[in-house]
Amino acid sequence: MVAPTKTSFGVTGAAVLARANQTGEQAISTITGLQAALDGKASAILSGSWTPALAGGTTPGTPTYTTREGYYTRIGNIVVAQAYLVISGVGGAVGTATITGLPFSLASGTGKRAPFNIAFWSGITLPAGSIHLVGFFQSGTVIQMQRWTVSSGGTALAISDLTAPTTIYGTVTYEAA
C-alpha cells in the first residue's frame, strides 16, 4: 500500500494513516454483521457461583460446613473455578478426599486433566516428608486431593487426614466438555 501524499484536509504523508489522526464515529448498524459478532462474543463469557463439596471416594458421607463458596468464569470452553471450603465435620465420609460439584464437566482426554492449585489449607495432617498438597481433576466434576512426598511422589489424601475445622482454598483452570 502506498501512503497518500495529500488530502483535502491538508494532512500529508504517513500522518494520514496514523491512528492518532483518525477521528469520528460510525454506527455499529452500518457495518454488516458487526452487532451479531459482538453479541456472539458476549454470550461466550459466563460467570457465576457453584457449591463445592467434600466427598469420600469410598463413602461420600454428609460433611458439614462453616463456609462453602465457589465462583467461576467460563470463556468459550475454558473455565477458571475457585473453591473455598471450611469443613466442620466429615459426616461419615471415607476414602480418598475429593472436591465435587464443579460447574462444568472436564473435557475427555488424559492430557486435559488439570491441577487444582491450593493457595491455602489448614486442618490437614500430612505425613513426614510431605512437600506439597494439590488436587487433580479426575473426570466429570470431581477433583481428587493428593499429597506429595519426596520419597513416594503423589498419593491420595485420605478423609482420615482431615481434622476439623479443615480449610481448603484453591483454583483450577480447565477445558470443559
Query: pLDDT tens-digit profile of 129-141?
Result: 888 899 988 778 9
Helix (H, G, I), strand (E, B) or coil at 43: helix
Interval 29-34 mean pLDDT: 84
The model's pTM is: 0.75
- The answer on 97 and 76 residing in a single domain is yes
Q: In degrees, to the nearest 5, what angle opens at C-alpha 120 toward C-alphas 130 and 78?
A: 105
- The answer on 95 and 78 residing in a single domain is yes
What domain range includes position 35? 19-43
45: left (phi over 0), alpha (psi -120 to 50) or beta: beta
Q: How many domains does the chain have?
A: 2
- CA–chain centroid gap for 65, Å, is 22
Give domain status of residue 74, yes or no: yes
Query: pLDDT tens-digit profile of 72-97?
Result: 999 999 999 999 999 999 999 999 99
